[in-house]
Amino acid sequence: MKNQEVAKILYEIAGFLEMEEVAFKPTAYKRAALTLNMLSKSIEDIYKKDGLKGLEELSGIGKNIAEKIEEYLKTGQIKYYQKLKKKTPVEIEELTTIEGMGPIKVKVLYQKLGIRNLKDLEKAGKSHKIASLFGFGEKTEKNILEGIAFLRKSKGRFLLGEILPAVQKIGERLKALKEVKELSVAGSVRRMKETIGDVDILVVSQSPDKVMEFFVSMPEVIKIWSKGPTRSSIRIKQGFDIDLRVVPIKSFGSALQYFTGSKEHNIITRRIAMTQGLKLNEYGLFKGKNRVAEKTEKEIYNILGMKWMPPELRENQGEIEAALKGKLPKLIELKDIKGDLHCHSSWNGGQNTIEQMAQTAIEMGYEYLGITDHTKFLKIEHGLNERQLAQQKKEIEKLNKKFRILGFKFQLLHSAETNILNNGLIDINNKALKKLDYAIAGIHSNFKMPKEKMTERIIKAMKNPYIKIISHPTGRILKKRDQYQCDFDKILRAAKEFDVILEINSQPKRLDLNDINIRKTKEAGVKMIINTDAHHKDHLTFMKLGVAQARRGWAEKKDIINTLPLEKLLKVFHRQT
């Protein structure tokens, strides 16, 4: 699909126009880019079927942008974009990924210091050329250098949620080949790590040559690193690498175990094998020269005296000890989830109406969906005030009535994602909060508070009797921003005391809480909820990422409150109010 390619160019155009301080156009381009990113159909198909008119029917895309999309589809480029880029030849997207760097700063740095990309920027920062510029200073220079360092830490890693669809598609395609007998994704993708270096796929086949030939000639391949009968390695358009290995059927279990990792987990597993006079490697589990385990991972773990364990646990975080004692957790599964309690509608941040969101939730088999639009502090999102919340409630009641008449076992819940202000107060008054089914509170501003103050701020919000859930509790954005400073242990104690639930936010960029904090939360006896924070109906499927993260944090069904049926869930919310 070329949707993402064009969207990226439109975003860059928006950046260049912002740089020139053009009014309104940047937002128009951004809106169009967003539409393309969200689109489930491909623009090629739309254009083929309905031409320019078809494109113009998309929301936020009018005559001009439609023509630019057409130009891209026909020629592979957009002249307008190239003109802008020629005028200011900078990597606008790369540079503005740095927190605190916007188009204007990019422009000034280009004009004064000729900075075109991250490399130039770092060089200028390190030789203290930035601080002395007008409009810049010591702090800005320091922030820029810190931003680059942060980016570098996550460089070359991809978000699980970004790559998973492509990996699944390629996996299915390979699986459909008659030459492929078995297939499994391995590595960090199988362990569902939040970011991925590269992808490993394992297959069993009698005719590896044909499989490899197919693999390296897929349309999305942009580079072939290597090609051989047992291993081939490619890079695909999205920028990440995929390794494909062909193994004999008798080694499939051990190879899968080996290539799933983690490395640390494997070291311990092999050591255990050794203590039993066995040898474990990617080819099999052996006693002397005899193979004692075949085909499956389960056999290997069983012979070593353990139950098979889900890949998400294999990080050498005590899972082997637990398995040896027969005390592995029974991890939560996607099918345990009964509903989603954090999503946005077209009342503000979201793309779809409440009814469309509900419709998707019903199709997913949910019992409930909580509508949690932003509240008034977030001006840019047109956050709702108390009066608008009351109006929204009416719409929700009306829809619920409709669902009842239609006989759906489904209910919308009315909530809001309120803001925790600097002083820990909530931006919506208690009278209005009381009318909601439950309220969420989150930090959306002033992330750089000192640790003590931030901790106090969050705890104060938790003391509000109507706040039931803290959304994205640590505020991190993968590859962009570290979590804010706070004393998580203190927050856990407060959550326990005030019966507040911590969210596992399933957005690919957030996955917040992370695995370590999930485990801590579970051990502290604090309940969690897995939400998607969907801004579009398609985002509701991010649930699987949140569930995977929960599994990585050893969470069980009983730890997660949206595994409860509606009635019990409401009891949890009504306990204190």
Cβ proximity to DNA: between 103 and 311 the closer is 103
The answer to the question of residue 380 lying near DNA (CB under 7 A) is yes
d(CA 427, CA 420): 7
CA neighbor of 246 nearest in space, from 180, 170, 294, 177: 180
d(CA 84, CA 74): 20
Residues in region 454-473 near DNA by CB under 7 A = none
The answer to the question of residue 141 lying near DNA (CB under 7 A) is yes
| Cβ atoms 247, 212 nearer than 8 A | no
In the complex, least distance from residue 61 CB atom to DNA, rounded to whole angstroms: 5
Cβ proximity to DNA: between 466 and 484 the closer is 484
Task: Fill in the per-residue mask, 16 to 55: x = in contact with DNA (CB under 7 A), - = not in contact.
Answer: -------xxxxxxx-xx-----------------------
The answer to the question of residue 106 lying near DNA (CB under 7 A) is yes
| Cβ atoms 214, 174 nearer than 8 A | yes
Amino acid (1-letter code) at residue 294: E
The answer to the question of residue 242 lying near DNA (CB under 7 A) is no
For DNA, which residue of 101, 170, 454, 560 counts as binding (CB under 7 A)?
101
For DNA, which residue of 86, 289, 330, 379 counts as binding (CB under 7 A)?
379
The answer to the question of residue 444 lying near DNA (CB under 7 A) is yes
Cβ proximity to DNA: between 29 and 554 the closer is 29
Number of residues lying near DNA (CB under 7 A): 51
| Cβ atoms 467, 439 nearer than 8 A | yes
The answer to the question of residue 197 lying near DNA (CB under 7 A) is no
User: Sign of the C-alpha dihedral, residues 147, 148, 150, 151?
Assistant: positive
For DNA, which residue of 1, 52, 104, 390 counts as binding (CB under 7 A)?
104
The answer to the question of residue 477 lying near DNA (CB under 7 A) is yes
In the complex, least distance from residue 467 CB atom to DNA, rounded to whole angstroms: 18
Cβ proximity to DNA: between 64 and 485 the closer is 64
The answer to the question of residue 56 lying near DNA (CB under 7 A) is yes
For DNA, which residue of 62, 165, 365, 525 counts as binding (CB under 7 A)?
62
Task: Fill in the per-residue mask, 271 to 310: x = in contact with DNA (CB under 7 A), - = not in contact.
Answer: ----------------------------------------
Going by the DSSP 8-state scheme, the letter that residue 374 receives in this structure is E
Collapsing DSSP states into helix, strand and coil, what is residue 444?
coil
Here the contacts of 64-68 (C-beta below 8 Å, separation 24 or greater) are: 65/10, 65/28, 65/29, 65/32, 68/10
Cβ proximity to DNA: between 60 and 248 the closer is 60
The answer to the question of residue 118 lying near DNA (CB under 7 A) is no
The answer to the question of residue 111 lying near DNA (CB under 7 A) is no
For DNA, which residue of 217, 391, 445, 577 counts as binding (CB under 7 A)?
445
The answer to the question of residue 63 lying near DNA (CB under 7 A) is yes
The answer to the question of residue 384 lying near DNA (CB under 7 A) is no
In 169-179, which positions are buried (b, 16+ CB within 10 angstroms) versus exposed (e)?
Answer: ebbeebeebeb
Cβ proximity to DNA: between 376 and 551 the closer is 376
d(CA 376, CA 373): 10
Give the E-state strand segments of 22-179 in sequence order. 158-159
The answer to the question of residue 87 lying near DNA (CB under 7 A) is no
For DNA, which residue of 74, 335, 448, 575 counts as binding (CB under 7 A)?
448
The answer to the question of residue 481 lying near DNA (CB under 7 A) is yes
| Cβ atoms 478, 448 nearer than 8 A | no
The answer to the question of residue 117 lying near DNA (CB under 7 A) is no
d(CA 20, CA 64): 19
Beta bridge partners of 204: 182, 247
CA neighbor of 270 nearest in space, from 262, 282, 279: 279
The answer to the question of residue 103 lying near DNA (CB under 7 A) is yes
In the complex, least distance from residue 70 CB atom to DNA, rounded to whole angstroms: 11
d(CA 321, CA 309): 12
In the complex, least distance from residue 29 CB atom to DNA, rounded to whole angstroms: 6
Residue found under tokens 């701020």: 457
Angle at alpha carbon of residue 511, lines to 508 and 516, rounded to 5°: 145
In the complex, least distance from residue 64 CB atom to DNA, rounded to whole angstroms: 3
In the complex, least distance from residue 314 CB atom to DNA, rounded to whole angstroms: 33
The answer to the question of residue 82 lying near DNA (CB under 7 A) is no
In the complex, least distance from residue 63 CB atom to DNA, rounded to whole angstroms: 5
Amino acid (1-letter code) at residue 556: E
Angle at alpha carbon of residue 517, lines to 515 and 519, rounded to 5°: 70
The answer to the question of residue 143 lying near DNA (CB under 7 A) is yes
The answer to the question of residue 453 lying near DNA (CB under 7 A) is no
| DSSP letters for 506-571 | --TTT-BS-HHHHHHHHHTT--EEEE--BSSGGGGGGHHHHHHHHHHTT-BGGGBGGGS-HHHHHH
In 432-460, which positions are buried (b, 16+ CB within 10 angstroms) versus exposed (e)?
Answer: bbeebbbbbbbbbeebebeeeebbbbbbb
Q: For 491, phi and psi rounded to 5 degrees? A: -65, -40
For DNA, which residue of 154, 226, 230, 422 counts as binding (CB under 7 A)?
422
The answer to the question of residue 136 lying near DNA (CB under 7 A) is yes
The answer to the question of residue 99 lying near DNA (CB under 7 A) is yes
Interface stretch with DNA, choices 120-128, 130-138, 270-278, 329-337 (CB under 7 A)? 130-138
The answer to the question of residue 137 lying near DNA (CB under 7 A) is yes
Amino acid (1-letter code) at residue 478: L
The answer to the question of residue 59 lying near DNA (CB under 7 A) is yes
Cβ proximity to DNA: between 412 and 454 the closer is 454
Query: Site residues (CB under 7 A) for DNA?
Result: 23-29, 31-32, 56, 58-66, 96, 98-106, 131, 134-141, 143, 378-381, 422, 444-448, 477, 481
